[in-house]
Structure 1
């Protein structure tokens, strides 16, 4: 489906306090196409804007009690995610697969014409049989999202350069960004297919939410093009 939405676009964001979530929330607030934003989280995000409504919910494996709040939306930006470092496979699958699918199934039932954008990652293993645990589970999650009865997309950004004060919650990654921020201009020249700025990624997400994409799985280079 590639036709654009008629009228204003209403979006749901899961993971608005993470780096990608912060970026797409910021861009949604600036974009006149976005008329309403619902943030779903375990605590309130630090944002106050007429576009924004927040729902605090604790059980991320069951969203059935939020059916009223989750009805009537055009797109979802599913930005929840954790690093697999130090996690067992069952624990990583719980966060990556089961939480994503709990939200996806509920939204597909309530909003069958919704565009659901799942933030995956470069190197994801669509076969689900590779050596890397995180890549297998990401691939399993992508495949399940794309099979749901709405318009699902899997986004696979590579290196994301945070812009406009956006910060990752992961302390290790935060320290790495402090040390390697200077690398981004170099990477854009030597490996442009594998890097994207956080504001570019956010713009691409909103464009896909508004206009769709002929691609169901988008790598960094596709996302840069979609950003315009």
Structure 2
């Protein structure tokens, strides 16, 4: 299986990249990043790119892919709706169009988050934008799966690029066993998320295309 990861330098993307490199059924891993991920591996190919709204310069680099794991995302803090839409909706749809152009049967997995608003009309800005993004992906006709994790525990050195999140994880990570025992349907890890995305890419399970933490933990066990 040949896969591409967008956002491999972020916390979630780091977990997905690790899962892909460890999986014997994954032959090649292409990562599209702004800066090097700092990993050397026989499976790994790296493409440095600045403008994620325009991937035309990468035409031909996405041939022969089986799956796309889209993990690129930013915190809504400090962004108005127009800018957050550009970073979330525009970037995601640009990637979907680019990877599906040469691979119409590709599996596209998108990480949004628990609380995403599919109606696109709620009061919470990030949830509306994420919901609009999910709906647009489903409308493309691609084989799309939407991951909505709740609290994610970083594992094996995975680190968020958002300072506030790093602080939160540093203060609460030791509580994860308790949190998971009390709210197993709302907690997961970067390990489980990475393995669950690979499981979906391999099996293309029928039914609901929206997966929450409980589904992620089951698939990534």
Q: TM-score, normalised by structure 1?
A: 0.94
Give the CA deviation at 1:182.
2.1
Indicate conservation of the 8 Å contact 1:108/1:149, yes or no: no
Give matches, 1:1-228, under 5 Å. 9-214=1-206, 215-228=208-221
Question: What SS class does the counterpart of residue 189 from structure 1 fall into?
Answer: helix
CA deviations on 1:124-166 (whole Å, 9 max, x unpaired) are: 0000000100000000000011111321111000000011111
CA deviations on 1:92-128 (whole Å, 9 max, x unpaired) are: 0000000000111122222111000001100000000
Task: Work out the CA distance in 1 between the residues paired with 2:38 and 2:205.
Answer: 31
- When structure 1 is superposed on structure 2, of 56-65 and 89-98 the one drifting more is 56-65
Task: Work out the CA distance in 1 between the residues paired with 2:197 and 2:74.
Answer: 20
Question: What SS class does the counterpart of residue 182 from structure 1 fall into?
Answer: helix
Task: Work out the CA distance in 2 between the residues paired with 1:131 and 1:183.
Answer: 31
Question: What SS class does the counterpart of residue 181 from structure 1 fall into?
Answer: helix
Counting matched residue pairs gives: 220
Question: What SS class does the counterpart of residue 72 from structure 1 fall into?
Answer: coil
Task: Work out the CA distance in 2 between the residues paired with 1:198 and 1:102.
Answer: 25
- When structure 1 is superposed on structure 2, of 107-116 and 14-23 the one drifting more is 107-116
Q: TM-score, normalised by structure 2?
A: 0.97
Q: What RMSD over aligned residues (CA atoms) do the two structures have, in Å? A: 1.0
Unmatched runs of 5 consecutive residues or more in structure 1: 1-8
Unmatched runs of 5 consecutive residues or more in structure 2: none
Indicate conservation of the 8 Å contact 1:108/1:148, yes or no: no
Task: Work out the CA distance in 2 between the residues paired with 1:20 and 1:52.
Answer: 17
Task: Work out the CA distance in 2 between the residues paired with 1:213 and 1:132.
Answer: 31
Q: Which runs of 4+ in 1 moved over 3 A?
A: none
Give the CA deviation at 1:170.
1.0
